[in-house]
Amino acid sequence: MRNLGWLRVPFIFTYAFLYIPIAVLVVMSFNASKSPFVWTGFSTQWYTALFNNELIRQGFINTMIVAVGATILATILGTLLAIGVSRYFRSAIVEAYSLAPAIIPDLVLAIGLLAFFALVGVTLSLFSVLLAHVVFGMAFVAAVVIARIGQTDSSLEEASRDLGAGVVTTFRKITLPSLAPAIIAGALLVFTLSLDEFVIAYFTNGPTTPTLPIVIYSMVRFGVTPEINALAALLLLVSFTIVISAQRITRLTDAV
């Protein structure tokens, strides 16, 4: 910090800018007042109110169904894809194609899927949201696992294959264990992404099964309530915990 010189100014500004809004939300979620702006004393009543809110509870259940399902599918497909791309293709174009769903703007993917589901006659429901979340989730898992494969050396697998083990045996005995941390980290990331994803869910969901972000969206449109503050604080806690665990499992930032 000390030797940053004048760079301290933007440095401190950035972190204040990133965290003050979050901090304000969390503090206000413990506010006794009904006004979300004026602090009148400590209370956990909004958390209680939250748990009694039927809409939010249903939204949470819907979100969990999608997030768990999408995580399982995306992790399996993404891991296989990463191995296939970095071990059997070694082509920059195939790799870029595999990661494209993570870069394409969510709105474009959302309307494309809406049009596609309408065309092939898939009824919009939690299942169509799940199918959509798997596409970009898979790309994120693949990205994390590809980065990990880049750090490990392939001679173990080659040795295993030289010794007569087939592709599948080699995968089960050698590849999978060495990639486990990256796979778990990737799964955790997909889970948070799916948990928080709004735009694609908004377009590909049926009208009767809103996910939590869709519930939040409709609440926020109507204005500010202390209940949302409490919900925000909880969601922040969940995301922070998951992302920090993922970071500790594989040093994600080393892949920069």
User: For residues 26-65, which are near other proteins according to CB under 8 A?
Assistant: 28, 35-38
User: For residues 210-249, which are near other proteins according to CB under 8 A?
Assistant: 213, 216-217, 220-221, 224, 228-229, 231-232, 235-236, 239-240, 242-244, 247
96 binds other proteins (CB under 8 A): yes
User: For residues 167-186, which are near other proteins according to CB under 8 A?
Assistant: 167-168, 171
Can you say whether the dihedral through the CA atoms of 21, 22, 25, 26 is positive or negative?
negative
User: In Å, how far from its chain's centre is CA 145?
Assistant: 15
Ramachandran angles phi, psi of 42, nearest 5°: -80, 140
3-state secondary structure of 205: coil
Q: Which stretch binds other proteins (CB under 8 A): 43-51, 52-60, 64-72, 130-138?
A: 130-138
255 binds other proteins (CB under 8 A): yes
**Of the residues 89, 125, 181, 184, which one makes contact with other proteins according to CB under 8 A:** 89
Nearer to other proteins, 22 or 61 (CB): 22
* Rounded distance between C-alpha atoms, residue 222 and residue 154, angstroms: 55
Nearer to other proteins, 21 or 206 (CB): 21
* Rounded distance between C-alpha atoms, residue 75 and residue 185, angstroms: 10
Ramachandran angles phi, psi of 171, nearest 5°: -60, -45
66 binds other proteins (CB under 8 A): no
Query: Look-up: residue for tokens 């399982």?
Result: 72
Instruction: Say if residues 44 and 30 touch (Cβ distance below 8 Å).
Output: yes
Nearer to other proteins, 65 or 76 (CB): 76
Q: Residue 64 is encoded by which pair of tokens?
A: 């969990």
Q: Which stretch binds other proteins (CB under 8 A): 2-10, 42-50, 53-61, 64-72?
A: 2-10
